[in-house]
Chain A
Amino acid sequence: MASTTRCLASLARFSLSTPARPTVASTIPKFLVPSVAAPFVRHAGAGGMRKKPTKKKKTYKTFRSYDQSDVEQYSLCDAMRYLRAYEVGIPPTIAKYELAVKLKTSKSGPVVRNRIRLPFPVKTDTRIGVICPEEMAAEAQQLGAVAVGEERLFEAIRAGNIRFNKLICHVDSQDALKKANLGRILGPKGLMPNTKTKTITNDLKATVQELIGADEYRERNGVVRMAVGQLGFTPEMLSDNVKSFMSSLKYDIAQIDDSYTKALDEVVLSSTNGPGFSLDGSYAPTDSAITPEHLHSTM
């Protein structure tokens, strides 16, 4: 097109300068000349910069829930076996088992929120030291104590190496504690075990649990997440914790008004450094060579 116009224009110049000579241009009918045949006329409102209809983003009222048929699910002991392998060599009071419970729920409306005292506490900002005879040291460590023992603990305290913020003493070690003369160090810190404050005890388990407070959980973005155990826990301990947490959660869901939909969707167990395993609610390991007792070993 452009070439013809240019051509015609030059021819027109020719015709102006030399009118006597016949031109080729005159042989072309007028309607074939583009500028004449289709004059560029702008009509208001037609064509031009009309706005394209923008695609409207679909909004959902509920959090997305996926088809669970593709999910590989694991029993508690299987998941624990993998997670213990992932966390090998990490101090077991530092690494935690975490549970994420996905809910089928709307984005608005009430959320699940509560506090729970787990059968085996997880929290470690209360760090407990236990003065007890050496034969109980392992048990105390299993309960979550960061410093245990008798003479070695006294040595550590004298050296100023105090890594706990609560100190309890077993009745059997009471005399040793008195002989150790630690009142001047522990007294001002409020750490000195005392029968009045119930920090001298013969039931380590009950006292440790009492000292460690309740944990809070709440629903965020349709998922309730909570730490449910330390890596040093046995499968039985973890199972107890998971069960009590789940029953508490189910109770909370039942408390919510029926006009709001809220139901369990998926339960995923993971650990501080490990992957997440969707749990199927069973306990026993699938590998026949492994029993839950195999997962008791020190981490």
Chain B
Amino acid sequence: MVGVIRRMNKLSEKLLTVKHGPGAAVLPTEVARIHLEFAHKLNDGHMGPRKFWRQNLRRLKYWNPAIPMVVNRTHDQKGPATLSIYFREPGAPIQQDTPMPSSSNDGDAKAPPAADGERLVTINMKNRRSDEILKDFLTKTGAVPVKPTAQEELLMQEIEELKARGEVDRERVSKMVAHEKRERQIRAQAQAEAAAIKAAL
């Protein structure tokens, strides 16, 4: 296994990126479940939904672990790209076992129709950028964005500093390596020339 400190440096950065950034928001209790459907490849306007899934949905899932978020990826590029939000009607009981298919990468998990006491809101994601989709999603759900705590901000700063230091070091080392390589080349060339002269004598 890799050494502890290197591992922890990487881990804290990864955890902060999943905790904070665009998409870090707590959804209200009315949001029962979320369903996304889009195609595997990015042609025909499927780039935005894909980015939304890869970058923003993780943060939403972190802050709302109890809400099922199902992604259905199809192989039909011409098909739709929709985000369905299922709202619980006020007063409706919280049902733990509403049937929901689990995520699929061959188009099997179609968006189920709204159950009793549910209201379905869809967002068309096709040909839209992920930040637009996120903005639309946050306004339609009324999600509360999460701000990093002072401690976490400090940690973020430390990570930035570490990265900057790493950049400086990387440059220094690459210079050193290039210099060594050049010297080796010169030496090899000189030796070859000397050998040629010797052979000529």
Contact = CB atoms under 8 A, between A and B. Distances in A.
Interface of A: 66-68, 70-72, 81-82, 84-86, 88-94, 100, 102, 137-138, 141, 223, 232, 266, 268, 275-277, 290, 293-299
User: Which one of A84, A88, A295, A296 has the highest number of Cβ atoms from chain B below 10 Å of its Cβ?
Assistant: A88
A197 B73 CA distance: 37
A66 B4 contact: yes
B65 A84 contact: yes
Interface of B: 1, 3-5, 7-8, 10-12, 14-15, 18, 33, 36, 53, 57-59, 61-62, 65-71, 73, 96-97, 99-105
Given A86-B18, A89-B71, A266 B102 contact: no
Given A275-B15, A297-B68, A100 B1 contact: yes
Nearest first, the 4 closest Cβ-Cβ pairs linking A and B are A89-B71, A85-B62, A294-B66, A298-B68
B65 A276 contact: no
14 contacts: A72-B12, A81-B65, A85-B61, A88-B53, A88-B57, A89-B36, A89-B70, A100-B1, A268-B1, A275-B15, A276-B7, A277-B11, A296-B66, A298-B102
A296 B95 CA distance: 13
A299 B62 contact: no
A68 B3 CA distance: 10
A160 B142 CA distance: 45
A290 B66 CA distance: 9
Contacts, number: 93
B5 A70 contact: yes
B1 A266 contact: yes
A92 B66 contact: no
A230 to B, nearest CB: 10
Contacts of B5: 70
A275 B10 contact: yes
A138 B97 contact: yes
B61 A92 contact: no
Given A85-B18, A100-B1, A290-B65, A92 B103 contact: yes
Nearest to B36: A89
A102 B11 contact: no
B152 to A, nearest CB: 14
B103 A91 contact: yes
A276 B66 contact: no
A101 to B, nearest CB: 10
Contact of B69 (A89, A268, A290, A294): A89
A141 B70 CA distance: 15
Contact of B102 (A70, A92, A102): A92
B27 to A, nearest CB: 13
Nearest to B57: A88
Nearest to B3: A66
B8 A70 contact: yes
Given A85-B58, A298-B100, 16 more contacts: A70-B8, A71-B8, A72-B8, A82-B18, A85-B62, A86-B58, A88-B58, A89-B36, A89-B57, A89-B103, A137-B99, A232-B102, A266-B1, A296-B66, A297-B66, A299-B68
B119 to A, nearest CB: 19
B102 A84 contact: no
Nearest to A275: B14
Nearest to A266: B1
A91 B101 CA distance: 10
Contacts of B104: 91
A138 B104 CA distance: 15
A84 B53 CA distance: 13
Contacts of A82: 15, 18, 62
Contact of A223 (B1, B10, B58): B1
Contacts of A299: 68, 70, 102-103
A81 B100 contact: no
Contacts of B7: 71, 276
B4 A71 contact: yes
A284 B61 CA distance: 19
